[in-house]
Amino acid sequence: MKSALIILCGLPFAGKTVLAKELEKAMGWIRIDLDEIKFELYGQHIRDENLEQKDWDRVYQTMYQRIRHQLRQGKTVIQDAGNFTKHERDLVRKIAQELGLGTAVIWVNTPKAVAKKRLLINQQAQARFTVSESDFEAVVAEMQPPSKSENVLTYDSSKISPKDWIVQNCDNFVTTS
């Protein structure tokens, strides 16, 4: 497959990063994670609500630059971020389109109840950074599932493991457009 951009989208705690890491390992693709860039720039303990718009602009511009660089190097890139709205997906999709490359969206369509349960478990275990319940509900209200025109593959982490899903869908990645 020639290089392409794989755009993940889904609710917080849906399983996007788990899937992205498995894709990175199984397919040899480059994973660029918005949260990792945020922590790299502002420290591991930064909370989203403590970032100003200029800080978010810096995080996103850094992510876009890294995606563009890797795509220009001929790599397939997995953009690991929420991409809750079509507008957010269009912004990153534009990078690949400007380079004449294909894109696919992986809709991590884990049920809200499952994602919320993971959020609550994480709040107790503090295994990773978290989001507030009110922020989670705001994302649920804002979420715009991708349309067929976005070249979508759907993954539900409550039904199948990432490894099994990749095996079942790896042929679909060859035709990203």
Segment 38-43 mean pLDDT: 94
The residues, any chain, with a CB within 8 Å of residue 147's CB and separated by 6 or more, are 86
Question: Which pLDDT tens digit goes with each residue over 84-121?
Answer: 999 999 999 999 999 999 999 999 998 888 888 878 87
Contact of 33 with 176, CB cutoff 8 Å: no
Q: What are phi and psi of 5, to 5 degrees?
A: -110, 125
Q: Which domain holds residue 153?
A: 4-173
Structural domains counted in the chain = 1
pTM of the model: 0.88
Question: pLDDT tens digit string along 127-154?
Answer: 566 677 778 788 888 999 999 999 999 9
Query: What is the number of other CB atoms lying within 10 angstroms of the CB of residue 151?
Result: 18
CATH number (domain holding residue 127): 3.40.50.300
**Mean residue pLDDT across the chain:** 89
pLDDT at 115: 82
- The answer on pLDDT for 177 being more than 50 is no
